[in-house]
A and B are shown apart, each in its own frame.
Chain A
Amino acid sequence: GAVVSQHPSWVICKSGTSVKIECRSLDFQATTMFWYRQFPKQSLMLMATSNEGSKATYEQGVEKDKFLINHASLTLSTLTVTSAHPEDSSFYICSARARVPYEQYFGPGTRLTVT
């Protein structure tokens, strides 16, 4: 089956610093990748949709200048949390969408803790 990796799996950073999270589709090309965040005991909330070679589309309420998304190739998308604050601490999960039937495959997630 299709495999999606994320790196790092967990990261601790200080308030005010930036953190980059990578999402890779290992055995298929993904023209579209999605970034979600998940708070404890909550479901996944879509943050943005990333299409290869174009600007990301952000969901309402998500600050595009704070959560920078780059989808430079068909196998790699990155999410950079800029000037991180403790309230940005969360579980970030990416997914990559295959071609028809457009099934999404999810990465293992990245646990971000901002101190």
Chain B
Amino acid sequence: KQEVTQIPAALSVPEGENLVLNCSFTDSAIYNLQWFRQDPGKGLTSLLLIQSSQREQTSGRLNASLDKSSGRSTLYIAASQPGDSATYLCAGQNSGGSNYKLTFGKGTLLTVNP
């Protein structure tokens, strides 16, 4: 059974700082790894998806990496802005009999202070 852990649970940084969010998973037979953003009371916005054959994905100021052998993924946010404040969720997707369902971590609550 896949288990996903995110560290830290909360992070507060000043505007402009670069930061890294960590995600670890127990089952290395992962199909995809997705990073999401959730604003309070809202649904999820997909940020990046890394397929198992890939090692990283980039979108603007975001870069996500995947290391299946160590069971880790990181989300790097460059030059953070107050608008980046949200909860960031990492989710592992397993294939086959799991119907490609996602297993979520508990999230990292990010606060970027002006």
Same assembly:
yes
**A25 touches B (CB below 8 Å):** no
**B34 touches A (CB below 8 Å):** yes
Whether the pair A106, B32 counts as a contact (CB closer than 8 A) is: no
Other A-B pairs beyond A103-B46, A108-B42, 20, CB < 8 Å: A43-B89, A44-B89, A44-B104, A49-B99, A51-B99, A57-B99, A95-B102, A101-B49, A102-B32, A102-B93, A103-B32, A103-B34, A103-B49, A104-B34, A104-B46, A104-B102, A105-B46, A106-B45, A107-B43, A109-B42
Interface set of B (CB-CB < 8 Å, partner A): 31-32, 34, 36, 41-46, 49, 51, 89, 93, 99-107
Interface set of A (CB-CB < 8 Å, partner B): 1, 6, 32, 34, 42-44, 46, 49, 51, 57, 91, 93, 95, 97, 101-109, 111
- Specify which of B31, B36, B89, B104 lies most central, judged by the most chain A CB atoms within 10 Å of its CB: B104
Chain A residues with CB under 8 A of B45: 106
